[in-house]
Structure 1
Amino acid sequence: MTAPPVPFALEAQGLTRTFGAGTGAVYALDGVDLGFPRGTFTAVMGPSGSGKSTFLSCAAGIDRPSGGRVLVAGTDVTDWDEDRRSRLRRERIGFVFQDFQLMPYLTAEQNVGLPPRLAGRRPDRARVRGLLDLVGLADRAHHLPGRLSGGQRQRVAIARALVTDPAVVLADEPTGALDSATARDVLALLRACVDELGQTVVMVTHDPVAAAYADAVVFLADGRVAGRIEAPTADAVAARAAHLDDRAAHLDERAVRR
């Protein structure tokens, strides 16, 4: 009996993104094939210029790929116009950024309820309050971001990312602005979103310790998939990342000599 296909929350098929044209064209992504099963936590790593940020932008519908397909919860969204892609980002994709990107004039509760408001719907107050409770900030619901610590702001951002029950949460260096102890708390929360809520998280990071919270680590180099580690440890991730960094430095040195 043929096994049923794995249900992917997010899938990239032959994804390419070029900048420039002709002989000066630069491939930020060069035929990337990746699938992220529902209810999993995946870290994406690679040297500077490897295509991590471009991949996230294309996956989120922020940047349109030059070739290939992007599927969100099995739906091909590649050729959607900007209005449909905006709705996709509001309703089916949750975002967690390094700099939090909270509205400074809105309370924690109002920030969490912002995505449904932008979609023209009244936020479910019970869900908003439940998510603030989940991230440990029920008693900070009426605080403005300026009265919250960095870790608390990031937890508000995670609650906001979850409020629409998205198909996938995309996290771009979510611990980059945090101290190590606070970063561990945020990573444990992202881990709990997967284990307890069944969410799917795809996180771009440069930190092997952060990557070790994931189920798997995907490595990109020169816009291509350059490896994968299942059940990662920080040491294993650091060793693979160092190898890719050395390779990238060697290629840059050769290019300069030419």
Structure 2
Amino acid sequence: MELSTRPALAVRGLTRTYGEGAAAVHALAGVDLAFAPGSFTALMGPSGSGKTTFLSCAAGLERPDAGSVEVEGVDVTAWTEARRTRLRRDRIGFVFQSFHLMPYLTAAQNVALPVRLAGRRPARGRVGSLLDRMGLGERAEHLPAQLSGGQQQRVAIARALVTDPAVVLADEPTGALDSASAAGVLALMRSCVEDLGQTVVMVTHDPVAAAYADRAVFLVDGRAAGHLDSPTAAAVAGRLANLDDLLAGTRSARAGARS
């Protein structure tokens, strides 16, 4: 599959601060990251490192104080809320830890929901083919309550893919699943990257989950503090076990920038 050379998602100098004065929290402090089309990136770091804020800014749910967000080479930072809403509906897919399925809609109806909300009909066979890919073709008419947690997350992944988005943002997608279900979900996400050329950015605390990615990026104190290519669970765990070194590095960089 031929992929574009421009990033599916790129942020430059991304900065976001909450509060003022001594009480200010610098959630993001000048993050520069780019995600190539057809790549799978695990975003990792301690609580308070800026991962959730990064996803919110990347998705256009909130505006950064400084810096830019580009989707497929288009700067969307200053777009109106209406335009950013359409962007999230059409070009950004979401997968959440708690699934966020509509309980009164069937699996097929949940998958089709983003397209229906845009006032369109899904392309013929699109919903069915996605559910088949997720191994849920025979569960299309089941309600979420009739599905296991792993099956619900597969429906959520199919829903994220239904508009053929530029990027899928996944926030702890296996956090509510047992290890077997989590492995199945991660393998499916991996296959969507390899077979469909989908771009995935996944926040996770789990080194095993990160090992499914092409790259693990570490955020510390609101800054990108290194990465691992072709990460293994052991290598990621080792990096996370030495967060003090990453913290020291980011703080030294800040001190040098101020001097």
Contact 2:225/2:246, CA 8 A, preserved across alignment: no
Local SS of the residue matching 1:8 = coil
Displacement of 1:123: 2.0
Separation (CA, whole Å) in 2 of partners of 1:6 and 1:108: 35
Q: How far has the Cα of 1:6 moved from its partner?
A: 4.0
Counterparts of 2:138 and 2:160, CA distance in 1: 19
Superposition map of 1:153-164 within 5 A = 153-164=152-163
Compute the displacement of 1:210 (Å). Answer: 0.1
What secondary structure, in the 3-state scheme, does the structure 1 residue paired with 2:125 have? helix
Cα deviation for residue 124 of structure 1 reads 2.3
C-alpha offsets along residues 182-230 of structure 1, whole Å, 9 cap, x if unaligned? 1000000000000000000000000000000000000000000111000
Q: Is the 8 A contact 1:15 1:68 kept in 2?
A: yes
Say which SS state the counterpart of residue 240 (structure 2) adopts: helix
**What is the match of residue 79 of structure 1?**
78
- Looking at structure 2, the residues matched to 170 and 224 of structure 1 have their Cα atoms a distance apart, in angstroms, of 19
Give aligned-pair identity as a percent.
71
**Equivalent residue, structure 1, for 2:182:** 183
Structure 2 residue identity aligned to 1:178: L
CA distance, structure 2, for counterparts of residue 125 and residue 232 of structure 1: 38
TM-score scaled by length of structure 2:
0.92
Q: Which residue of 1 aligns with 2:250?
A: none
Aligned twin of 1:217: 216
Q: Distance in 1 between matches of 2:61 and 2:241?
A: 30
TM-superposed deviation, 1:246 = 7.9
Structure 1 CA distance for aligned equivalents of residues 214 and 245 of structure 2: 25
Contact 2:9-2:71 within 8 A present in 1 as well = yes
Residue 190 of structure 2 aligns to which amino acid in structure 1?
R
Structure 1 residues 43-122: aligned runs within 5 Å: 43-122=42-121
Is the CA contact (8 Å cut-off) linking 1:47 and 1:245 kept in structure 2? no
Shift of 1:23: 4.0
What CA RMSD, in Å, does the superposition of the two structures yield over aligned residues? Answer: 1.6
Give CA deviations for 1:33-74 in whole Å, capped at 9, x if unaligned.
000000000000000100000001100011111110000111
1:122 Cα deviation (Å)?
1.5
Tell me what 2:28 maps to.
29
Q: Distance in 1 between matches of 2:183 and 2:25?
A: 36
> Take 2:6 and 2:238, find their aligned partners in 1: how far apart are those partners?
31
Paired position in structure 2 for 1:197: 196
C-alpha separation in 1, matches of 2:143 and 2:196: 27
Q: Give the match for residue 131 of structure 1.
A: 130
Structure 1 stretches lacking a partner, 5+ long? 249-258
1:220 and 1:172 mapped to 2: Cα distance?
15
- The equivalent of 1:252 in structure 2 is none
Q: Distance in 2 between matches of 1:233 and 1:150?
A: 26
Amino acid at match of 1:217: A
Q: Distance in 2 between matches of 1:154 and 1:28?
A: 29
Structure 1 runs of 4+ aligned residues shifted over 2 Å read 21-25, 245-248
In the aligned structure 1, how far is the partner of 2:41 from the partner of 2:108?
28
Letter in 2 for 1:107: T
Name 1:254's counterpart in structure 2: none
Tell me the amino acid that sits aligned with residue 164 of structure 2. D
